[in-house]
Amino acid sequence: DAKTTQPPSMDCAEGRAANLPCNHSTISGNEYVYWYRQIHSQGPQYIIHGLKNNETNEMASLIITEDRKSSTLILPHATLRDTAVYYCIVRAPNSGGSNYKLTFGKGTLLTVNP
Amino acid sequence: GAVVSQHPSRVICKSGTSVKIECRSLDFQATTMFWYRQFPKQSLMLMATSNEGSKATYEQGVEKDKFLINHASLTLSTLTVTSAHPEDSSFYICSAIEAGELFFGEGSRLTVL
């Protein structure tokens, strides 16, 4: 799996948009970008994923650059409950059990302040 | 989304004893599950891949005789920490594949005294 680089921490005001960047300059053409988050003392929670088009769901939006070397996760209206460590992971398509062996980096600790 | 449940959520044991942690897929069948370990302020580290009906596959550096994994049914994988020591104190998390995506359990915090 390609490696990713994320800032160790970020702060965001409640109600504002939180933009979390991720660099994945060595991503392969068939690898997806996945985002998970982990609230303190809980298991990771899936947020969103994409290949090359921008994606949006009820939790967040994912913006992937045209060269696919970086992406940004956007939480449009951050709340205090969004305080968590956010992990950006790249992995190959679902073509075998080994492709589900996620490699977690250190992620970004997002702190949403009142 | 699919639900993966772990039990117990917290366990405290004495050094030298064995502890079993269960991981269940509540509304789907999982032929493959994964076990992770997370030390304080560190990221998740994959320990092993649990395969229903066959032996688990361990990552490099993980002692298979210490961390026994059993995946006897399509909805249950168990991790047994044998002869636990204080350095085994950690947050253990399982995950399972459903409809092409990974879902994680709530985690089990083990404290070895």
Could B45 and A104 be called an inter-chain contact, meaning their C-beta atoms sit closer than 8 Å?
A: yes
3 state DSSP class of A26: coil
Q: What's the average model confidence in pLDDT over A54-74?
A: 96
- pLDDT for the residue numbered A52: 92
pLDDT band at residue B100, thresholds of 50, 70 and 90? confident
Q: What is the pLDDT of residue A98?
A: 60
Lowest mean pLDDT among A89-98, B6-15, B49-58: A89-98
* pLDDT at residue A91 is higher than 60: yes
Which of the residue ranges B53-57, B69-73, B97-101 would you say has the lowest mean pLDDT? B97-101
Residue A43: which of B42, B45, B107 has the nearest Cβ? Answer: B107
Bridge partners (DSSP) of residue A46 are: A36
What tokens does A49 get? 């994923």
CA angle B2, B75, B39 (to 5 degrees): 75
Q: Which residues of A touch B4 (CB under 8 A)?
A: 43
Q: What is the mean pLDDT of chain B?
A: 93
- For residue A29, pLDDT beyond 60: yes
Q: What is the DSSP string of A39-103?
A: -TTS--EEEEEESSS-EE-SS-EEEE-TTSSEEEEEETT--GGG-EEEEEEEE--SSSGGGG---
Compute the distance between CA of residue B81 and CA of residue B14 in angstroms, rounded to an integer: 12
pLDDT confidence of residue A1: 54
In this predicted structure, what is the pLDDT of residue A99?
Answer: 63
Confidence of residue A102 (pLDDT cuts 50, 70, 90): confident
Contacts of B101 in chain A (CB under 8 A): 46
In this model, does residue A100 exceed pLDDT 80?
A: no
* Three-class secondary structure of residue B108 per DSSP: strand
Percentage of chain A modeled with pLDDT above 90: 77
Closest CA to A101 of B35, B40, B42: B35
Q: From the CA of B83, how many Å to the nearest CA of chain A?
A: 24
- pLDDT recorded at residue A95: 55
Locate the chain B residue with the closest alpha carbon to A97: B32
Provide the pLDDT confidence category of residue B98 given band limits of 50, 70 and 90.
confident
**Who contacts B40 (Cβ-Cβ below 8 Å, separation ≥6)?**
none
Q: What is the mean pLDDT of residues A39-56?
A: 93
List the A18-23 sheet strands across, edge first: A18-23, A70-75, A61-64, A55-56
- Fill in the DSSP letter of residue A5: B
- pLDDT tier for residue A34 given thresholds of 50, 70 and 90: very high
Residues B94-107, mean pLDDT to the nearest whole number: 90
B106, pLDDT greater than 60 = yes
